Structures are given as structure tokens and as C-alpha cells.
């Protein structure tokens, strides 16, 4: 099957007009009920056909005794039945002319020789019947733009630009929950499982050609054909970022990967070299995967590793500068022109260095002027802004403390007005940073006083990312700058 035909069938998988759930159930704890509930609960707009020979109706829908009994055309079959019954169901899919399937069931290659034989059998049936299938041993797939969530638990991310390819169902669901909670936005999710037919490289090539996909994050335990994967990755990374977490770098982790999805983990050093040659951004932890993927999806890509830092106080600026040096980022000295510009806005005793310490000034317009000057400076391609957001939480704490001490000292109306003014000031700063990013084409990472991890703030000019620590901001920019360098070398 050539790539064009494969991509057409994958379109039917991720953007189906109709879905059959084979093994559908009305028992809440069963997978057939969980998958069906998730599809219906996310307001999928296509036709849904439960298949179960023992039921007439499930969740208010007519239920069919077999796949071939469905009276209408079906784009996608989701198979949630025991492994020994999958070959028969796959034959029915072929007879029905269904182009795509997702095999949720486990009990295949990952369980030993008997399961491996069944897995090989369904591959042969699928190939003969013109079917492409995901899995087996997967938790499912999702397409936010298609409002399809064929998963055992609803996650509900909004439509966006980040796609996920995961060889682990548990980790994949965790990332989906993070994406939904953080407001990052999902394009496509593929839990590849054992990859009996569709491999990570197939999904990478497909997602790389979709306009709605802006970046692709991957959790990987092993690759079947490293040379083919690298060729695909090279083509995709020239158009959009690919971020990979390769598990199994330790001896214990490598052994666990083989028993988990039946994958061969291979040499971690080999993967590292392959990723570097193909322009894949490599990360080491799930949180790092999320952070780097969010930034590479939502923010401009820096062209070089040169960074400017603005800080509300000296300590955070020193920490950020140290982290930058450790991660291979360059902190250029301020030019005479930048110093003259900032001399007109900052107190006479400001430090005249990069990091720029605004010495506790509280004017939002001052912050935006400094950030704008640094982002507009030709000698840097990314900015970190430390401590300029989050004071509203301090105001809330002060109000609560004052009310415990003497609730009559200030009127509640006055206190709420002060809090509202602080929140509005921070909103102006975030909006202004969004504008600066759009005008300069450079990312501005905000480290807030009271954030928990990464949060995404939407503005009229695009997304602004806020973080809880300087090291998180530096880590993200180091990954972004590495990808920017790769793109520059490809020109």
C-alpha cells in the first residue's frame, strides 16, 4: 500500500463519518461500554453502530448482531473483544468493506507465542481485506477536530495543533489529560500499542502532512525500522517540530519495554544519534515532553540560542542566567542602544546588564516596554520574563489576612477593587506579551510568582506560556533554540 492510499485510510480512521464499536456493552465497567460512552459523550457527529449479538439496544442506540448486519457504510471499526475473536471480526470488517480499525484488545505478541500467532493472523487478514488497523493492545485514538474520542476515559481536549503518538496507553492518556487541563489543544492522538500493522513512522508521516497539526509529540519504546523512521522524520521536521521521549535508556527500562508492547528497545545511544541527525527534539521526562511540545506548538521558533532576561529581582535573574549557560544558551551583553533606551524608563540605579533587573518597579507598561525592547533587539531571539505575573495571588492573601486581623480597616469594596485592578494589570501584561511575540516573531516565556507547572494564556495575538520556575523556561528555550538551529542549517 503506497503512502497516498495509506493516508486516505487514516483519514477514514481519524475523521470517520461512521464508527462501529464491536463488543459494545451496557455494563459500565466493561471496555465496550467505556469506549462507546467516550465516543458519544464527546458529541461525535457521525453515525455510531454498537455491535453485540446479545443486545437489541445499548445507550439508546440500535445494536447489531454482527458487523455485516449493519445496514450502512462504516468507516472505522473499534474492536473491544477478546483476542481469539479478533480474526473473525477482522474478516467481517473486510467483508463489510471497512477501511480502518482500532484493535483495543490485548493478549497478543506481548503475551507470548500464542498471542503472536493471532497477531500475525489479523495482519494477514487486514492486508488481504484492504484494512489498516491500529494496535492491538492500545487504549485507542482521538481526533479533536473530528470530535472523536475512542478511548476508555473521556479526556476532552479542545481542538488545537499538537498531535500525540504514544506506544503507552497509560502515558498517552496522562498527556491527553494534561493537554486538556492546560488548554494546549489537540489535533490527533494515536495510541499505537503493539504496532502490528501501523507503526510510529506511518503515523508521523501522516500527521506531518496535515495542516491542522503544528507539532508532533512522541512517546517511544522501540522502532521496527530505524532507517525508514529517520527518513520520514527528516522530511517532517523540516516542516514542523517533532518532540520525542525515548523510554528504556536503562537496562531495567529496556527490559520492561519489551514485555510492555513487545517492542525491541535497542541502543539508547543509537536513538539519540538518530534523533539528532533527523532534527527530532529529544526530551527525558513526560513533563519535559509536555512543556517543549506546548511551546513548539504555540510559540514562534527562535532562530538562535541568544536569550535576554528581564527579572523583578536579582535572585531569579542569576538563577536563570546560570541555567542558560548550563543548557548552552548565550546571554549577550546589552548594547549601548538598549541601555540608552532603558535608561529613559528605569530608575537611575538599575543594573545595566542582561539579565535586566527592573528593581521592583510595579508598572505594567514599564514591563512591556522592557520586554518589547529586548524582543526587538537584533542580538537576541528569545526572552524570559521573571516574576511579573502572579501578584494578584499575593493581594488575595493580604486581603484574607487583613480581614482576619481587622475586617473594618478597609471596606470590602475597596479591597476587591484593588484585587480587580491587579488582575486587570496582569491581563494587560499577558496581552502585551502576546502582541510582542506576534510583532517580533520571538518567544517570550513568562515565569509567574504563583503558577503550578505550565499554563497557557490566550490573547487576541496568540498564546502566552507561563511557568513556575526559571529552569523550566530555560529548558523549553534550549529545546526550541536547538530546533531553530536545525531549521537554519536545512536552508
Which residue spans of the chain are classified as CATH 3.40.50.261?
155-298, 301-490
Q: Give the cell for residue 22.
A: 464491536
Q: Is the pLDDT of residue 403 over 80?
A: no
* pLDDT value of residue 109: 87
pLDDT digits (tens, 9 = 90+) for 269-311: 889 999 999 999 999 999 999 999 999 999 999 999 999 999 9
| CB-count exposure of residue 436 (10 Å: 0-12, 13-18, 19+) | buried
- Kindly state the average pLDDT of the residues 42-50: 94
pLDDT tier, 1 (very low <50, low <70, confident <90, very high otherwise): confident
Torsion angle, CA of 251/255/258/261, rounded to 10 degrees?
A: -100
Which residue spans of the chain are classified as CATH 3.40.50.720?
1-139
* pLDDT value of residue 20: 98
Q: Is the pLDDT of residue 252 over 50?
A: no
**Is the separation of the CB atoms in 157 and 180 below 8 Å?**
yes
Q: Give the cell for residue 259.
A: 514485555
Q: Topology of domain 155-298, per CATH?
A: Rossmann fold (3.40.50)
**Mean pLDDT lowest among 22-31, 187-196, 271-280, 411-420:** 411-420
Site of grid cell 491542522: 212
Distance (Å) of CA 98 to CA 1, 172, 190: 16, 26, 19
Q: Is the pLDDT of residue 63 over 90?
A: yes
Q: Is the pLDDT of residue 9 over 90?
A: yes
Q: How far is CA 446 from the centre of its chain?
A: 19
* pLDDT value of residue 391: 66
Helices (H) and strands (E) in the chain, counts: 16, 20
Q: Is the pLDDT of residue 409 over 80?
A: no
- Kindly state the average pLDDT of the residues 444-449: 92
Q: Is the pLDDT of residue 238 over 80?
A: yes
Helix, strand, coil in percent for the chain, rounding step 5: 45, 20, 35
* pLDDT value of residue 411: 64
H or E element, residue 205:
helix 200-208
For residue 190, the cross-strand partners are 141, 165
* pLDDT value of residue 259: 46
CA angle centred on 270, ends 267 and 276, rounded to 5°: 145
Q: Is 24 helix (H, G, I), strand (E, B) or coil?
A: coil
Q: Is the pLDDT of residue 96 over 90?
A: yes
pLDDT tier, 392 (very low <50, low <70, confident <90, very high otherwise): low
pLDDT tier, 264 (very low <50, low <70, confident <90, very high otherwise): very low
**Is the separation of the CB atoms in 270 and 249 below 8 Å?**
no
What is the average pLDDT value for the chain, to the nearest integer?
91
Pick the closest to residue 250 from 276, 273, 269 (CA basis).
269
- Interacting residues of 65 by C-beta distance below 8 A, sequence separation 6+: 51, 52, 53
- Kindly state the average pLDDT of the residues 350-355: 96
Could you list the beta-strand ranges (E) of 197-241. Answer: 215-220
Q: Give the cell for residue 314.
A: 536579582
**Which CATH architecture fits 1-139?**
3-Layer(aba) Sandwich (3.40)
- Kindly state the average pLDDT of the residues 229-247: 96
**Is the separation of the CB atoms in 240 and 213 below 8 Å?**
yes
Q: Is 73 helix (H, G, I), strand (E, B) or coil?
A: coil
* pLDDT value of residue 263: 46
**Mean pLDDT lowest among 7-16, 59-68, 422-431:** 422-431
pLDDT digits (tens, 9 = 90+) for 16-31: 999 999 999 999 989 9
pLDDT digits (tens, 9 = 90+) for 144-181: 999 999 999 888 899 999 999 999 999 999 999 999 99
Q: What is the largest CA-CA distance in the chain?
A: 82
Q: Is the pLDDT of residue 393 over 70?
A: no
* pLDDT value of residue 244: 97
* pLDDT value of residue 83: 96
Superfamily holding 301-490:
Succinyl-CoA synthetase domains (3.40.50.261)
Q: Report the percentage of the chain scoring pLDDT > 90.
A: 78
Amino acid at each position: 500500500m503506497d503512502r497516498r492510499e495509506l493516508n486516505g485510510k487514516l483519514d477514514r480512521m481519524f475523521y470517520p463519518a461512521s464508527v462501529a464499536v464491536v463488543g459494545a456493552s451496557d455494563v459500565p465497567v466493561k471496555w465496550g461500554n467505556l469506549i462507546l460512552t467516550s465516543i458519544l459523550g464527546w458529541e461525535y457527529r457521525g453515525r455510531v453502530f454498537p455491535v453485540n449479538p446479545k443486545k437489541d439496544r445499548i445507550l439508546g442506540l440500535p445494536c447489531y448482531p454482527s458487523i455485516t448486519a449493519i445496514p450502512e457504510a462504516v468507516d472505522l471499526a473499534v474492536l473491544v473483544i477478546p483476542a481469539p475473536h479478533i480474526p473473525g471480526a477482522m474478516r467481517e470488517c473486510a467483508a463489510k468493506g471497512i477501511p480502518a480499525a482500532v484493535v483495543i484488545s490485548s493478549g497478543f505478541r506481548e503475551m507470548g507465542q500464542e498471542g503472536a500467532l493471532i497477531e500475525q493472523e489479523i495482519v494477514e487478514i487486514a492486508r488481504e481485506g484492504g484494512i489498516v488497523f491500529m494496535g492491538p493492545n492500545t487504549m485507542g485514538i482521538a481526533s479533536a477536530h473530528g470530535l472523536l474520542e475512542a478511548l476508555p476515559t473521556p479526556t476532552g481536549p479542545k481542538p488545537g495543533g499538537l498531535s500525540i503518538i504514544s506506544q503507552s496507553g497509560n502515558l498517552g492518556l496522562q498527556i491527553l489529560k494534561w493537554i486538556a487541563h492546560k488548554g494546549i489543544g489537540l489535533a490527533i492522538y494515536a495510541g499505537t500499542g503493539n504496532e502490528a500493522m501501523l507503526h510510529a513512522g506511518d503515523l508521523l508521516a501522516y500527521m506531518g502532512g496535515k495542516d491542522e497539526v503544528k507539532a508532533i509529540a512522541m512517546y517511544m519504546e522501540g522502532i521496527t525500522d530505524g532507517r525508514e523512521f529517520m527518513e520520514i522524520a527528516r522530511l517532517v521536521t523540516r516542516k514542523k517540530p517533532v518532540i520525542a521521549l525515548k523510554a528504556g535508556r536503562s537496562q531495567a527500562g529496556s527490559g520492561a519495554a519489551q514485555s510492555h508492547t513487545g517492542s525491541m528497545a535497542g541502543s539508547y545511544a543509537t536513538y539519540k544519534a538518530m534523533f539528532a541527525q533527523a532534527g527530532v527534539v529529544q526530551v527525558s521526562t513526560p513533563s519535559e515532553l509536555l512543556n517543549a511540545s506546548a511551546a513548539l506548538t504555540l510559540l514562534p521558533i527562535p532562530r538562535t540560542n541568544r536569550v535576554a532576561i528581564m527579572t523583578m529581582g536579582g535572585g531569579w535573574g542569576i538563577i536563570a542566567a546560570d541555567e542558560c549557560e548550563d543548557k548552552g544558551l548565550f546571554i549577550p551583553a546589552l548594547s549601548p542602544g538598549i541601555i540608552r533606551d532603558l535608561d529613559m524608563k528605569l530608575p537611575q540605579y538599575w543594573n545595566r546588564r542582561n539579565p535586566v533587573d527592573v528593581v521592583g518597579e510595579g508598572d505594567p507598561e514599564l514591563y512591556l516596554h522592557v520586554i518589547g525592547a529586548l524582543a526587538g533587539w537584533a542580538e537576541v531571539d528569545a526572552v524570559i520574563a521573571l516574576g511579573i505575573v502572579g501578584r494578584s495571588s499575593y493581594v488575595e492573601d493580604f486581603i484574607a489576612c487583613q480581614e482576619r486581623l481587622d475586617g473594618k480597616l478597609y471596606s470590602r469594596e475597596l479591597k476587591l477593587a484593588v484585587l480587580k485592578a491587579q488582575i486587570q494589570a496582569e491581563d494587560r501584561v499577558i496581552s502585551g506579551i502576546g502582541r510582542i511575540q506576534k510583532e517580533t516573531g520571538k518567544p517570550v516565556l513568562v515565569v509567574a510568582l504563583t503558577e503550578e507547572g505550565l499554563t497557557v494564556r490566550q490573547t487576541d495575538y496568540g498564546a502566552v506560556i507561563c511557568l513556575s520556575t526559571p529552569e523550566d523556561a530555560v529548558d523549553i528555550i534550549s529545546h526550541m533554540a536547538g530546533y531553530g538551529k536545525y531549521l537554519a542549517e536545512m536552508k
